[in-house]
Each structure stands twice: as structure tokens, then as C-alpha cells.
Chains A and B, each alone.
Chain A
Amino acid sequence: MFATVRCRRLILTAVALLSAIAHLGATDAPGKPRRIVSLNMCVDELVLRIAEPQNIASVTWLSRDPKNSNVAELGARIPVNHGLAEEIIPLNPDLIIAGIYTARTAVAMLKRVGIPVLEIGVPKSLDDVRAQIREIAGLIGERERGESVVADMDRRLAALPHPPSSDRPRAVVLNPNGATVGKGTLVDEIMTRAGLTNVAAELGIDSYGQIPLEAVAANAVDVLIVSASRDGPPALATEILRHPVLAALSDRTRVVVMPGRLWNCGGPAVVEAIERLMQIATEIRAEAQPK
């Protein structure tokens, strides 16, 4: 057992050395990773936006799905992985970026064989998003490209008006299985910035929790933000997003279908999520004005 691990390590070191030698001639910036692997859907987007395509060895298969990914076209040109160590090791990566909750077995294994792994947490705020973009950009030696992504985001955010502190439509997020998003999350900040009150946060839900349909119906929400996965193939988890009570609420509640790709990950796309929600909040305020 130990012998095989040591043997594998030796082989890997040898392979790494060989590839380092092979790359010697082509190096432009010292220490810049040339074989980056992403093991997480959210990291995929940042890596694909910031790194040079020729420096990306692999991203996850989810990055090619236009329903999940804002950069499906970029992802289509890069080999994909399914978060399995067996797929990653032969790629001989010099940097692996993973999420702290996903592909745990593979990450543990890849660390054991000595490949550098950066683990990225779930961003809880727009500041976290900026910090993550900068961290990844710094590590892959593309500081300037990272700064330009952040600057672009901030420019679009600055262009948005500041919503009033009162007269904020009440909204709640409803995801498959009745999951919702409460205080201390990026989604909460997006809703607040768009001028909405997050009812789940009001109900005392911290980060992620479940909200019973009864609470959704009884809390007189103005906006129900439903995950777009309700229109996918059937499952009980997504079926509650089509429960007749939600259709019956539609007299008083606006149902907004939010594509997960806009705000499930912390990336520049969150600005579009804010813009969409802000538009709806403005419309509701306008309708409520006495004519």
C-alpha cells in the first residue's frame, strides 16, 4: 500500500519534472501556471474569464451547459472533467482550483500527490466576489485581467440608482425542495441592493434553509423568485415550484424566474441579477403609487 503510494509519487514527480523541462523554452512569466484545472462550476467561470485559454487544462463538464454557465462558449473549447482524481492526474496540472464543498475526495487525493490546490469558499457578499476574482487572478498571474473584470462589475454597479430605504417590495427565494436563502448571503445582498426586502431573512433564516410553502403563502410576499430549474425534467424537488398554491398567489405576487447562472456563483453575472430584480422592484413601486 505504502509502496504503491510512494511509487505513484515518484512517477508523478518524474512526470512533473519532464513537463517542466518541456515548458522551459516557452515560459514568458516565471511561476505562471500553464496547466490550470478547475474542479468547481463557479471557479470555471472565473478561470475561463480571467486565464488565457491555452493555460487552462480542464474545467468541469457543467461549464458547457448554457443553462448553468454564463461562459458556455468559452468552456466548449476546453477539455472537461467530472471532478474525479483519475481524470485530473494524467492532465499533469500545476494548479488546481476547487470549491470547499465539492469534489472533496478528488481534492484530498490531489493534495496527497503534491499538486498545489487552491480552495475557494462560497462568497457571502459582493466584496467576497471581488476578493475571489482578485485571489484567482493573482494566483494565475493575470492580475490585470482580474482588475479589469472587477472594474467592469463596479462600473455597472455604480450606474445603478440607489433604491429608497423604505417602500421596499417583500420578496422570497424559492428553490427546489423548498430551499431558500436568508441573511449573510450573496443572494441577500443582491436582493437588498435591488431594493427588495428578503422575507426569509426577516423570518430569521441564516444563510441557507428551507421555507414551507405555507410560510410563502401566508407572508404576503410581493415577489416570489423561483429557480429556473422548475421547467426542467420532473422531480418532486422541482415539482413544488409548480404547486397550484403558487399559481393561486399570482394575483398579488409576481413570480420571477431567476436563472441560477446569474446568482448561484459569485461572478460578474450577479450585476445582471441585481438589474433584473431592480427593474421589478421599480415596477411594483410604480404600480403602488396612487394615480
Chain B
Amino acid sequence: MMCASAVDPVRHGRVPPYSVLVAGLAILVVILMGASLAIGYAPLDLVQAFRDVLKGEKTLATLVLTELRLPRALLGCFVGLSLGISGAAMQGLLRNPLAEPGIIGVSGAAAFGAVTVFYFGLAGALSLALPLGGIAGAAAATFLLYGLSGRGAGTMTLILAGVAINSFAGALTSLALNLSPNPYAVTEIVFWLLGSLADRSLPYVWLILPLMIIGWGLLLVSGPALDGLTLGEDTAKSLGFDLGRLRLQLIAGTALAVGSAVAVTGAIAFVGLVVPHLLRPLVAHRPGRLLLVSGLGGAALTLAADITVRLLPIRPELKLGVVTAIIGAPFLFGLIYRLREEEA
């Protein structure tokens, strides 16, 4: 299906130039980041606050801007980017349009890894332990998933493997929270299952950014090999792509990007499903090109969802995953319906 459309001249003719698409999405992300900085719970003169920051003055307005709104906007961008790229990469790796870190349990396992590290004080002793816990969880789930369903396995196998990993990881997360010595921990499963950017701080951004950048890098350089893979494994091998290395690269990249994101913001579902699905026709169904544009699209969607939860008059604010699921679940239903028709 994918390779057929990749060489379809009619479709190819209708897609916008790749550079225009990337630039357009990047501009959208910048605009949404600006909106994210402008919207909040306290009145803030953004222009004045920016001026004060540049002058190096420490006013209440600059504190709100740099300590509260900036980490939120940056995390929205980076986490969305991670989820978007990873979604596109997993769909390329497993050659299945339903592969998405949230649906197939990678995010859930990352949340379990992070929860274990955070609530038992390891993150307090060494802050890097938090993203490493998330990464370990995500890597374990991705390996397990790959072992269970393999490449090109049927959708059924993939989804069932995902359901199994998701419910197991969810149960373990709940167990870990119940065992935590802090009485508030039990109620915090909502954060880990649905994700939120509320009240996160800048040190977290700097903590996970380098790990995410390595992850994005690993995934982006796999682009040409993913394109080759659409021609079939044998052809890809004959073109000189090392498929074993490619798989490892994609698994490591996804684990780094998703694991560190989930460790700080919880599991935000559906971003990696909706975005590649929407953008795929715009890159002529080329999985390599889909990576970067999905990353930018994921950043835009996550920022938009985070702006929405702050604008909605519901307090305490909704978890981000509520909004992304409301957008994403209909997509999933539509995809399953179409896949069923194709398989029939």
C-alpha cells in the first residue's frame, strides 16, 4: 500500500514541496509556542516581560514567563516532537499504520519505569535516573513488542501485544503508586496515564532535552533506510541497508525520545497516531520524509492541546491525554474500519 503510493505519479504531483511543508509546519509550531507563552492563569504583559528578561531584570512578570510558561511551551514542543517522530518511525518499523507509542504500550511501560524511579526516591538522589527509568521502560516494551509481533506481523497480533503490554504496565504502575510512602501518590496515576504539562519546571527540560535530541537524531538518520524498506526487505538489503542495525536504531531512538518525554509529562496518547496519519499523503507516503514533518506536526498538536486545557473553564485543568484522545480516538476507529475493509 505504502510503496504503491510512493511511486504514484498522480499523487506525487499533488504534494507540496517538502521544504515548503517543513517550513510551514515549523512556522505553525513557532506561532503556537508564542500562544502558549501568552496564555496562562495570571494576567501578564508579554512584551514588557520579554523586555525585562532581555534587560536581565528579575520582576514577577519575568518569573512567570521564564519559570512557568517557558518550560510549559518548551516541553509541549519537545514532547510533541518526540511523540510525532516516534509514531512515524514505529509505523515504518512495524509497517503498520496503527503502531503508536501510546496504543502499543511503549508509553505505558515508560511511565512504569519513571514511576518506579520517582516515587522511591531514586530521582531525588540522581535526577538523571528519572528519564533513564522512562527510557528503560520504553526500550523493554519496544523489544518485547518486536519479539511478540515481529516485522510486518498482522495488525491483530500487534494490537493484542500492545493491549497486553499496556494493561500489564498500567497494573505495575498502579502497584508502584500504591506502595509509595507518600499518601498523594495513589491519585497520581491519572497524570501517568493521561499526561500533563502543568507545573513542570525548566530543570526537567534541560534534563531530558539531550536524551531526546539523541533519540530524534537516531530516528531521522533512519529515513533513507525506511524509504528503502517500503520496496521490500530483499530490495532494501540489495540497496545496501543493514536491516538489523536499522531496527536497533529505531528501537533505541524511540526509547530515548518517548521514554524521556513520558518520564516528565506522563503518557500522552494518540499524538503519534493522528499526526503521521494526517501528514502521510503530503509527503507522498514516503516514511523517511514523514519523520521530520510528523515531529513538527506532533509538536503543533501537543502545544494546541495544552493551550486548549488552559482555555477550557474546567479546574483543576484537564489532563492533556483527555484532549488528545478526544481528537485521536475517532482517527483510530476510522483506521481500524479501513484496515478491516482492506483485509476483507
Contacts and interface: CB of A to CB of B under 8 A. Distances in A.
Given A217-B63, A245-B67, A234 B123 contact: yes
A217 B40 CA distance: 12
Contacts of B43: 218
A244 B202 contact: yes
A238 interface: yes
A232 interface: yes
Nearest to B42: A218
Interface string B23-50: 0000000000000000011111000000
A176 B184 contact: yes
Contacts of A245: 63-64, 67-68, 201
Contacts of B121: 233-234
A7 interface: no
Interface stretch (A111-119, A182-190, A206-214): A206-214
Nearest to B188: A236
Given A236-B188, A249-B63, A210 B181 contact: no
B199 interface: yes
Most chain A beta carbons < 10 A, residue from B119, B188, B201, B203: B201
A212 B44 CA distance: 14
Contact of B199 (A215, A240, A249): A240
Contact of A218 (B44, B185, B187, B316): B44
The secondary structure that dominates the A interface is helix
B182 A234 contact: yes
A234 B118 contact: yes
Given A176-B184, A245-B201, A215 B42 contact: yes
A256 B64 CA distance: 21
B150 to A, nearest CB: 37
A210 B317 CA distance: 10
Given A218-B44, A234-B124, A248 B67 contact: yes
Contact of A217 (B64, B124, B315): B64
Contacts of A233: 119, 121, 180-182
A238 B58 contact: no
Contacts of A178: 199, 316
B60 A217 contact: yes
A245 B198 CA distance: 13
A244 B202 CA distance: 8
A167 B40 CA distance: 30
Most chain A beta carbons < 10 A, residue from B121, B191, B199: B199
A238 to B, nearest CB: 6
Interface residues of B, number: 32
Contacts of A237: 182, 184-185, 187-188
Interface in B186-212: 187-188, 191, 199, 201-203
B250 interface: no
A238 B121 CA distance: 13
B248 to A, nearest CB: 34
B184 A235 contact: yes
Contacts of B124: 234
Interface string A12-43: 00000000000000000000000000000000
A261 to B, nearest CB: 15
A220 B67 CA distance: 15
Given A235-B188, A237-B188, A248-B58, 5 more contacts: A177-B184, A218-B64, A234-B121, A234-B123, A244-B203
Rank and list the top 10 A-B pairs by shortest CB-CB distance, nearest first. Answer: A218-B42, A237-B184, A212-B41, A245-B67, A235-B182, A214-B42, A233-B181, A214-B41, A235-B184, A233-B182
Interface of A: 176-178, 210, 212-215, 217-220, 232-238, 240, 243-245, 248-249, 251
Interface of B: 40-44, 58, 60-61, 63-64, 67-69, 118-119, 121, 123-124, 180-182, 184-185, 187-188, 191, 199, 201-203, 315-316
27 contacts: A178-B199, A210-B316, A212-B42, A213-B68, A214-B40, A214-B44, A214-B68, A217-B60, A217-B63, A218-B42, A218-B44, A218-B61, A219-B42, A232-B182, A234-B118, A235-B188, A236-B188, A236-B191, A243-B199, A244-B201, A244-B202, A244-B203, A245-B63, A245-B67, A245-B201, A248-B58, A249-B63
